[in-house]
Structure 1
Amino acid sequence: MSWRLVVADDDATLRRLLCLLLERDGRFEVAAEAGDGQQALDQVAATDADLLLLDLAMPHMDGLEVLTRLDRQARPRVVVLTGFAEERLCQQVLDLGAHACLQKGSDFAALLDRLAEVAAA
């Protein structure tokens, strides 16, 4: 079984790398990519994704706004991947409905395992 996900990050190079790693892992299928918050919302609505891998600092609409606008009933499970190391910020995204908050630069194997844990929960 593979989990479908939307990868949302404004850094196109990192987004592409994440997509390659996810596809290569075998447990995931990238349903769509998004370079900003509005695109993330649009792609979540257009796909039947199980997961949303969401950056916080994006143009047009940041990840916090995306979390507040996602329909809580039909939303995919959300894992936030951020460059900000503030514990308070991670608590805020969890309070807004994210299932996990990870730091950019984390070990990719650990990221993939955490995504699988969140998807399977």
Structure 2
Amino acid sequence: MTLTVVVVDDEPGLRRLLVLLIERDGRFRVVAQAEDGIEALAAVREHDPDLLLLDLGLPHLDGLEVLEQLQGRVRPAAVVLTGFADPATLERARSLGAADCLVKGEDFARVIEVLYATGVAADGT
């Protein structure tokens, strides 16, 4: 099973690194990248990915607003990767449907493991 992913982060270098990390794993295919919330929603509509790797600190629409607009959709399962370690912000993301929340400075090494577990759980296999 290959899981499709949209990667959303406003930092181009980090976004490229995440795409390389994800695609190198072999269990994923990155179908789109976005640098802001508006592009993220457009990519989700166009590609209907299994997973959304989403930063919260985005221009135009932030990650929480993206999650709000995606509420009620079965796909994609959202994994937040953010610089915000504030528990209230992370809890808000979860309440808006994020399957998991990772903090950039603390959880970067777990991105692949969490993406795969989230994708498998969402797929029901």
Q: Which residue of 1 aligns with 2:97?
A: 97
- 1:33 maps to a residue whose letter is Q
Where 1:113 maps in the other structure, the secondary structure is: helix
1:72 Cα deviation from its structure 2 partner:
1.6
1:2 Cα deviation from its structure 2 partner:
1.2
CA distance 1:117–1:36, shift in 2 (3 Å): same
Q: Which residue of 1 aligns with 2:25?
A: 25
- Greater shift in the superposed pair: 73-82 or 2-11: 73-82
Among all aligned residue pairs of Structure 1 and Structure 2, give the percentage whose two residues are the same amino acid.
53
TM-score scaled by length of structure 1? 0.95
1:56 Cα deviation from its structure 2 partner:
0.3
Q: Which residue of 1 aligns with 2:66?
A: 66
Q: Which residue of 2 aligns with 1:118?
A: 118
Query: What is the CA deviation profile of residues 23-78 of structure 1, one whole-angstrom value per residue up to 9, with x for unaligned ones?
Result: 00111100100000000000000002000000000111100100111152343000
Q: Which residue of 2 aligns with 1:16?
A: 16
1:108 Cα deviation from its structure 2 partner:
4.1
- 1:11 maps to a residue whose letter is E
More helix by share: 2
**Where has structure 1 moved over 3 Å in runs of 4 or more?**
106-109
Structure 1's unaligned 5+ residue stretches are none
Alignment pair present for 1:6 and 2:6: yes
Rounded Cα–Cα distance in structure 1 between residues aligned with 2:36 and 2:91: 22
CA distance 1:24–1:106, shift in 2 (3 Å): farther
1:105 Cα deviation from its structure 2 partner:
2.5
Structure 2's unaligned 5+ residue stretches are none
